[in-house]
Amino acid sequence: MESEGAYGEDSVVEVIPLHFDVPQHHIPLDDFIQTAKKTEAILDGFNNRLFDGKLKYKMLVVPPKDGGFIEILGYIGTASVGSLGLVWAYSQTKDGKAFFESLTGHKPTYWHKRAGEKLRALLAKKKTDSPQLPEVKEELITQKAEALMIVHIIIAFIQQDEEKLAKSGVTPRVFREAFEARNQFYEICNANEDIKGLGFDETYEFPVKRSDFTGLQVSLPPKEEIEEQLDWIVGVERIIANSPVWRRNLQDKRHWYGTYGDNKTATFVVDDESFWRRRDDGSLHLQPNDQLKVQWAFIEKHGKRSRFRVLRVLEFNEDHLADELTDDALDAMLGRFEQEEKQQGELLEWKD
């Protein structure tokens, strides 16, 4: 749903509709408040990462129309010094154009054109006595375009899985704050058994199903990893999972434990979105001491390895699941990294 917006000299409203699939047309007040706060926190995360917190805005609750329960949040980009035009300026850079088009599915010029159309239509309703197409200030069109782009980025981020977002450069490492807020958003949804899905317009189509809530909660890198520039080493290894952790959201508290190589041990987390989807849909063939072939990353200092992260599960109990990540994908996920050097034949085969 695209809003009719609000025509004003200092601000332009665009809405973020959150349509909850519930049997009754209501949700608890606390769920309403907390999901709204987490949506704002997602926006804050993008603001801090892309604009160093300089983007100024307000979030409002907008009265819904009749129908199912729709939590409608209004985004207002305020016309403050240093904020107005910030989003549009970024969208005109090479990186910005690619970022917005990848996430929203449209180039920034589309949103600028759409903004002008919506504002002229809104103004025409107020000036029905004039047959001429009303003029709208370019500054206001830019502000409306910015609001449209921001809103559609947030909607895309809320519903897209980690693998798809990574193709746009949106990873938990780079946008940790936004992913943390999204995790909490879906924890709230998951805790309410009445919420069967989530949509983003007034139709009764819910692209996010309840079965997706857990998979959209991702593993977050420790904050210290974000604050310091780490030199990751990436390698392919075979691991026996002596002590797996089968609930993804518990990995922050307890890590997997396994053995690899010549009786080496490691504790690690699994960040592979597609692997967790297979776990949730029951397509993994589990057995005692599961055997995994993985592409993982770790830190090595003074000959000691730590912070193991499984980026991609390639095989699980000899079933092929995926191919190795490319260097471009690894760069988006890790930043600086180098490939582990192995001697020929060093990757051990499973023993009967």
Retrieve residue 95's tokens: 């990186």
C-alpha angle 153-154-157 in degrees, rounded to nearest 5: 85
Residues 42 and 160 in one domain: yes
pTM of this prediction? 0.66
Question: Bridge-partner residues for 268, per DSSP?
Answer: 256, 308
Residues 232 and 203 in one domain: no
Residue 1 within a domain: no
Residues 197 and 112 in one domain: yes
DSSP letter, residue 348: P
Query: Where would I find the H helices in 52-107?
Result: 86-91, 94-104
Residues 90 and 157 in one domain: yes
Is there a contact between 190 and 214 (Cβ–Cβ < 8 Å)? yes
The Cα–Cα gap between 15 and 275 comes to 34
Q: Please, which residues have CB within 8 angstroms of residue 47's CB and are 6 or more apart in sequence?
A: 53, 54, 55, 57
**Which residue range is the domain that position 25 belongs to?**
13-212
Question: CB neighbours (10 Å) of residue 304?
Answer: 7
Residues 194 and 228 in one domain: no
Q: What SS3 class is residue 281?
A: helix
For residue 241, give the nearest of 268, 202, 220, 275 by alpha carbon.
Answer: 268
* pLDDT tens digits, one per residue of 173-186: 889 999 999 999 99
Residues 167 and 22 in one domain: yes
Residues 238 and 181 in one domain: no
* Mean pLDDT per 10-residue section of the chain, whose length is 352 residues: 43 81 87 93 92 86 62 67 73 88 94 90 68 71 91 95 87 90 96 93 89 91 69 92 88 89 91 86 90 93 88 94 87 76 51 43
For residue 147, give the nearest of 175, 96, 112 by alpha carbon.
Answer: 112
pLDDT at position 78 is 61
Residue 310, domain CATH: 2.40.50
The Cα–Cα gap between 333 and 192 comes to 32
Question: CB neighbours (10 Å) of residue 123?
Answer: 16
Residues 311 and 178 in one domain: no
pLDDT at position 352 is 42
The Cα–Cα gap between 14 and 147 comes to 6
Query: Domain tally for the chain?
Result: 2
Residues 227 and 205 in one domain: no
Q: Please, which residues have CB within 8 angstroms of residue 192's CB and are 6 or more apart in sequence?
A: 27, 28, 31
Residue 49 within a domain: yes
Q: What SS3 class is residue 345?
A: coil
C-alpha angle 181-183-186 in degrees, rounded to nearest 5: 110
The Cα–Cα gap between 295 and 235 comes to 6
Residue 32 within a domain: yes
Residue 3 within a domain: no
Residues 198 and 228 in one domain: no
